[in-house]
Amino acid sequence: MKVKDTALTARQVKAGPDDGLTEGEFTAYASVFGNEDSYGDIVVQGAFAADLARWKESGQNIPLLFGHNMADPDFNIGHVVEAVEDDYGLKVRAQLDLENAKAAQVYRMIKGRRVNQMSFAYDVIDGGAVTQDEKSVYELRQLKLYEVSVVTIGANQETEILAVKSATDALMAKAGRVLSAKNETALRSAHEQLVGAADEIKNVLSAIDAGGDDQEKASGEPTAKSGTGDEEPDGAKSTEPDEEPKAGPSVALLAAEAHIYALTGAQEGVRP
């Protein structure tokens, strides 16, 4: 399962009675046709047609989530009332569950024009590489739609770790295809960031190695100790009660790791 974001202008998002809709309703484009995204993909008009028919026939509602969080029911903030393809993209009319505190907050954010981006989770049923403007792109011709999400621009476009993840996903998605110059540049940039992160991890591990018993705690594989109790003998205790804490990963690195775990879990249907 993959996800794809759509940044919208304020005029492309309408919400509530002030925009001629019922309370808790909003309309937006979950996908835009014909434009190349950061993956080098282009969604073709008609890509959703068959699956929208499948959803309608099933009698079920396409879920509306916040941030693709599939594990926490609080983040299931509503459902899609209507989804249609027009010349511009996949336009959805969604109803927020205003009894859900998170949904009510998202509604306020949409009406206040504090969020203006949609995303959708999908699998590729049919796609293929084509040459367009003398470069290779990948057309998404038929998709299976799992859900649509309201997402924040900051969490999906501005974090460094997403730049790394987007480049990696682009490579995996294009296995066997020639990478475009843009994707090659993104991958080289991702490589430099990963090398920097690896150097930081090495420094942390070196500090842990120098800490003796602290290494056993970090590794989760303690060695056997003499004595029958769980406590260390008095002689094994540190004689430096004011010892400085060992160096650890930076806040940026920890945030990056957490963000990778959350995003990959959301795409695979697995959450921590």
Same domain, 39 and 116: yes
**Domain contains 71:** yes
Q: Which residue has the higher pLDDT, 239 or 102?
A: 102
Q: How far is CA 154 from CA 5, 19, 39, 115, 229, in A?
A: 12, 26, 18, 10, 51
Can you read off the two tokens belonging to residue 67? Answer: 């941030």
Is pLDDT above 90 for 105? Answer: yes
**Domain contains 13:** yes
**Domain contains 80:** yes
pLDDT of residue 9: 57
Residue 100, φ and ψ in degrees, nearest 5: -90, 125
Distance from C-alpha of 233 to C-alpha of 226, rounded to nearest angstrom: 8
Q: Which of 152, 178, 195 is the last residue of a domain?
A: 152
Count how many Cα atoms sit within 13 Å of the Cα of residue 16 in the half-sphere of its side chain.
12
Is pLDDT above 80 for 189? Answer: no
108-123 mean pLDDT: 88
Render pLDDT for 24-63 as a digit per residue (tens, 0 to 9): 999 988 888 988 877 788 999 999 999 999 999 999 999 9
77-105 mean pLDDT: 95
Strand-pair category, 89-96 with 63-66: unpaired
**Domain contains 256:** yes
Report the 10 Å Cβ neighbour count for 262.
Answer: 17
Render pLDDT for 124-175 as a digit per residue (tens, 0 to 9): 999 999 988 888 999 999 999 999 999 886 332 322 222 233 344 444 444 5
Same domain, 134 and 70: yes
Q: Which residue has the higher pLDDT, 21 or 75?
A: 75
Which of 16-20, 46-50, 180-184 has the largest mean confidence?
Answer: 46-50
Element (H, E) at 204: helix 181-209
Distance from C-alpha of 222 to C-alpha of 180, rounded to nearest angstrom: 49
Q: Which of 152, 167, 197 is the last residue of a domain?
A: 152
pLDDT bracket for residue 224 (50, 70, 90) = very low
Total tally of structural domains belonging to the chain: 2
Go through the chain and tell me how many residues it has: 272
Query: Which residue type does 102 have?
Result: K
270 SS3 class: coil
**Domain contains 229:** no
Strand-pair category, 89-96 with 25-32: antiparallel
Q: Which domain holds residue 20?
A: 2-152
Q: pTM of the prediction?
A: 0.56
Distance from C-alpha of 76 to C-alpha of 64, rounded to nearest angstrom: 6
